[in-house]
Amino acid sequence: MVNVKGLKIGEGQPKICVPVVAGNIEEIKNQANRIMFTPADMVEWRVDHLRRSDDIPSVLVALEVLKENLQDKPVLFTFRTAEEGGKKRISAEKYSNLYEAVIKSGNADLIDIEYFLGNRIIKPLIKMAHEHGIKVILSNHDFKKTPPADEMIKRMTGMKNAGADIAKIAVMPHSSSDVLELLTATEAMKKIENPIPIITVSMSALGLVSRITGEVFGSAVTFASAGRTSAPGQIDADELDRITNTIHYNLKDSDRIKLNESAKNVRFKNKRNIILIGFMGTGKTTVGKRLGEKTGMIVKEIDDMIEESAGMSITSIFEKRGEEAFRDIESAQVNKVSNMEGVIVSCGGGTVMRRRNVDRLKRKGCIILLRGTPELVYERVKRGGDKRPLLNRYQSRGYISWLMKKRRDTYMAVADYIIDVDGKNSDIIADEILEFVYNRKKRR
């Protein structure tokens, strides 16, 4: 696994990388803004499309602008040469100079270097990148054909031996067996000694299956478009995200069932708290109220407590004092409810992202995760006005899915019980919770 600014490449669901293919700075800004509405985990800047890519100062300015407009999404810097399907030719010397300047600028998180440029060029660049804390993808592209699996394995192993953090190969299929050949090479790379994350692509519509099955066969990143594509076969980022989410949730559903099974053995004692967690818009407040009605227990809504204690709305706290201050007030409210007994606690979506909040909450109660799809959440928050500062700026299904993925492993890890809420009303969900905590149905 390679960790780039918290993004774990080579673990779990393949990361979505959206290319920026722009001729000038204005286009870069527009595309970066558009990407923020998508579920992109990272961005590849294809600098060979920049009109002034031969002028290093212009490239550095453009890179800085791109970075500023992407918040904290990792940026992969790539000059794709004409020999490997890129837009321009470039001399070896200019290539090295360009990459050196970019490495020194500190504005790239990863760089893509073409493997076939040879050791004389790639070795010093890898060394320099690593000295600057930048990860290196060694890559190879064949836009004409699919080489035999053995050859692809040999190339990717060679990339690893040359010092790559990630090895990438993208090839063109002419038949379904070509696609299988690529998948065979992908699968085989899991079994080499000390494997590294790899990225494999079978291009064009025929190869699309290779872009969606990374979690099964072992390809760590998948490229998708937000408007403009940079290679044949790329599909829209939201569409790709839906498909890879479906695969991920089905592969992981066994975890959920295991968790729910073992949670059944946790005997729920009276006076314990019922703590509702989950992403914004999954219904924590509504379900909390329903539970209150059904049990007569007092409901504590962390968001309301925060607003009361700060004397202003959540939006104002974010605006005037920033997210960290908000989180501190939130932790203080968690401390308060953790001293109470027999209450229902409805958390904010981010409450359990702080470990110490989880520890406090767990001491007095059990944690129920309400899990919903990005589609459901988007439909709900769209209607809800601007109460949620985190979702206001890039209100879209894609942004929600991106944030949800950042949080879902933590949600899963802290939950004692998980309920999928899509298609269920609050009454049914509340009954399901009561059945879990008391092992019996409660009065209506």
Pairing of strands 42-46, 75-78: parallel
Kindly state the smallest distance separating residue 273's Cβ from ligand S3P, in Å: 17
Q: Give Cα separations from 430 to 99, 152, 196 (angstroms).
A: 57, 53, 45
Per CB under 6 A, 303 contacts ligand S3P: yes
Residues 135-194 that bind ligand S3P (CB under 6 A): none
Pairing of strands 221-223, 298-301: unpaired
Among 314, 343, 414, 418, binds ligand S3P (CB under 6 A): 314
Half-sphere exposure of 66 (CA within 13 A, CB side): 34
Q: Where are the beta strands (DSSP E) in 153-197?
A: 166-171
Q: Which of 73, 168, 294, 405 is catalytic?
A: 168
Per CB under 6 A, 284 contacts ligand S3P: yes
Q: Of the ranges 29-37, 57-65, 195-203, 346-354, which one interacts with ligand S3P (CB under 6 A)?
A: 346-354
Nearer to ligand S3P, 181 or 303 (CB): 303
Q: Closest by alpha carbon to 111, among 66, 86, 79?
A: 79
Kindly state the smallest distance separating residue 336's Cβ from ligand S3P, in Å: 15
Nearer to ligand S3P, 197 or 348 (CB): 348
Per CB under 6 A, 349 contacts ligand S3P: yes
Among 19, 214, 350, 365, binds ligand S3P (CB under 6 A): 350
Kindly state the smallest distance separating residue 280's Cβ from ligand S3P, in Å: 4
Nearer to ligand S3P, 43 or 368 (CB): 368
Per CB under 6 A, 85 contacts ligand S3P: no
Among 348, 372, 374, 398, binds ligand S3P (CB under 6 A): 348
Q: Closest by alpha carbon to 204, among 174, 168, 182?
A: 174
Per CB under 6 A, 15 contacts ligand S3P: no
Kindly state the smallest distance separating residue 374's Cβ from ligand S3P, in Å: 13
Nearer to ligand S3P, 51 or 355 (CB): 355
Kindly state the smallest distance separating residue 370's Cβ from ligand S3P, in Å: 10
Q: Which residues of 354-385 are buried (b: 16+ CB within 10 A; e: fewer)?
A: beebbebbbebbbbbbbbbbbebbbeebeeee
Alpha carbons 55 and 151: distance in angstroms, whole number = 36
What is the CB neighbour count within 10 angstroms for residue 285?
17
Please answer whether residues 395 and 346 qualify as being in contact, where contact means their C-beta atoms are separated by less than 8 angstroms.
Answer: no
Q: Which of 67, 135, 141, 405 is catalytic?
A: 141
Known catalytic residue at 141: yes
Alpha carbons 415 and 370: distance in angstroms, whole number = 9
Alpha carbons 59 and 51: distance in angstroms, whole number = 10
Q: Give Cα separations from 280 to 41, 90, 276, 333, 344 (angstroms).
A: 20, 48, 12, 18, 18
Kindly state the smallest distance separating residue 195's Cβ from ligand S3P, in Å: 35
Per CB under 6 A, 372 contacts ligand S3P: no
Among 280, 377, 415, 430, binds ligand S3P (CB under 6 A): 280
Rounded to 5 degrees, what angle do the CA atoms 185, 189, 194 make?
165
Known catalytic residue at 168: yes
Residues 197-216 that bind ligand S3P (CB under 6 A): none
Interaction mask 381-420, ligand S3P, x per CB under 6 A: -------xxx------------------------------
Nearer to ligand S3P, 214 or 349 (CB): 349
Nearer to ligand S3P, 262 or 316 (CB): 316
* Lookup: tokens for 403: 């944030």
Q: What is the CA radius of gyration of the chain?
A: 24
Per CB under 6 A, 288 contacts ligand S3P: no
Nearer to ligand S3P, 107 or 338 (CB): 338
DSSP, collapsed to helix, strand or coil, labels residue 204 as coil
Q: Which residues bind ligand S3P (CB under 6 A)?
A: 280, 284, 303, 314, 348-350, 388-390
The residues assigned a catalytic role are 141, 168
